[in-house]
Chains A and B, each alone.
Chain A
Amino acid sequence: MNSLIFSLLPLLLFLSGCAVTGQHSATQPVHATSSAVGDDFANVQVQKVDDPFQGVNRAMFGFNDKLTTYALRPVAHGYALIVPLPARTGISNFFDNLQFPVRLVNSVLQGKLKRSAQETGKFVFNSTFGIGGLFRVSDHVSGLTDIPPEDFGQTLAAWGLPPGPYLVVPVLGPSDCRDIVGFGVDWAITPLDWHPLGVVRWTIIGNAASFGLSATRYINGLPKAIEAYDQVKAGAVDPYIALRDGYLSYRAAQVKK
């Protein structure tokens, strides 16, 4: 129980920080939506940006970029050489399938009952016919394909919470206040991470296994994540802003689904 409180403490501190900055940022002008007169310009909707910590964020972005170049990219490259794409897809399907409780809980919390049923059907199909989730056989079942994944960040959005200031988190990358809280809550309900939280009895073996699985999930996702990052960076004239707008627009689109 102690460990649970300690795990949530930073989250609570963070929440209060977000609440304070949220008040400040409400009065800040958003220059990205400068008054457009000609219809040419009004046709493009620029994502509203709340970025009061831009200085720190840019520093973090630089740090993450170096981390990607010097540490993560070699790891991802080596991993991709050893584990070919079909195996990586299988592993990512496996972890995706394990994330089912997160998607189910959030579908329910948003009152999306049809989606909850779809998620459950998908989980049952893939866990059985898909051999523990390694194969996503549900892709061949009508009604179970292309289900937009729900998370707690989207649940908070559905409940009317604004995204709050944009944040670049060390190692994890772009986020915002709402999504950081969402990330914490989803982490708490991910079966893989129950060990450190002390929900399941605290044992060294249990923790090591949980850590190992989480690390595998992270590394397995790296090649794809780095490829996406490289694509954003390749075309960008200001990679920090390209990634910020990309993240915020992508999340806004997910919330709508």
Chain B
Amino acid sequence: MRSNLFPFILKSTLALAILGTIGLSGAASVDDPLAMLRSSVDDVLAVAYSGHGNENLPARVRPLLEKSFAFDLVTRQAMGPGWRQFSPADQKRVSDLFSELVIRTYSARVVGTQRPKITYGTPSELAPDRREIPTHVTVPSSSEPFAVVYRLIKFPTGWRIYDVLIEGVSFVANYRAQFDEIIQKGGAPAVIRTLEAKLAAPVESRS
């Protein structure tokens, strides 16, 4: 009896241990900014290079980006301190319009003729809830690899991207510099007008 019981106990302990590790690694992937970044970049590339070309790419990429980008934070930071003077309705409108612009810009950037190869560096800590992850992007036919740095923030639901730096140029700071003057001159209405005009310009129409 005993001798039969032992393997059983061993097996169940093993099973528990394995289950435990799976559970733990599942938790770790939510907790791990690098794993989160890798999987969201892979997901976007899979959609962008699925062979459907650029057709309607922003719409196809949108759900993925909404999962991995902290759009509210991105918008607030891009507007700068002037954001606090916006009415809640204006904030909502600006946030919607700006997110749409970010999604379009990002999808236009991500698509090319050849799928880029990405190598990830080690994350460094900016603050307890913020990390910076350097990556190198190589496009097969082009000679120079370029540096893309992702900045992530920890939310209760997991890590989210809040800024992307391409060759040292911060996406958020670049927009902040542009909106600074627009806000100073005309506040939220000017921002909304500018964004609406910008989004109306390309061929893809906004719903």
Contact = CB atoms under 8 A, between A and B. Distances in A.
A41 B77 contact: yes
Given A34-B80, A234-B105, A249 B130 contact: no
Contacts of B195: 237
25 contacts: A34-B80, A34-B180, A36-B80, A38-B84, A40-B76, A40-B77, A41-B76, A41-B77, A41-B80, A43-B77, A43-B126, A44-B173, A46-B80, A46-B176, A86-B141, A89-B143, A92-B143, A237-B182, A238-B181, A241-B178, A245-B177, A246-B174, A249-B170, A250-B168, A250-B169
A32 B180 contact: yes
Interface of B: 73, 76-77, 80-81, 84, 101, 104-105, 108-109, 126, 130, 136, 141-143, 145, 163, 167-170, 172-182, 184, 194-195, 198
Contacts, number: 102
Contacts of B104: 235
A8 interface: no
B105 A235 contact: yes
A80 interface: no
Contacts of A36: 80-81
Given A38-B84, A45-B170, A242-B178, 8 more contacts: A34-B180, A38-B81, A49-B177, A146-B145, A235-B101, A237-B194, A242-B174, A246-B174
Contacts of A231: 108-109
A136 interface: yes
B81 A37 contact: yes
A253 B173 contact: no
A236 B181 CA distance: 13
A252 interface: yes
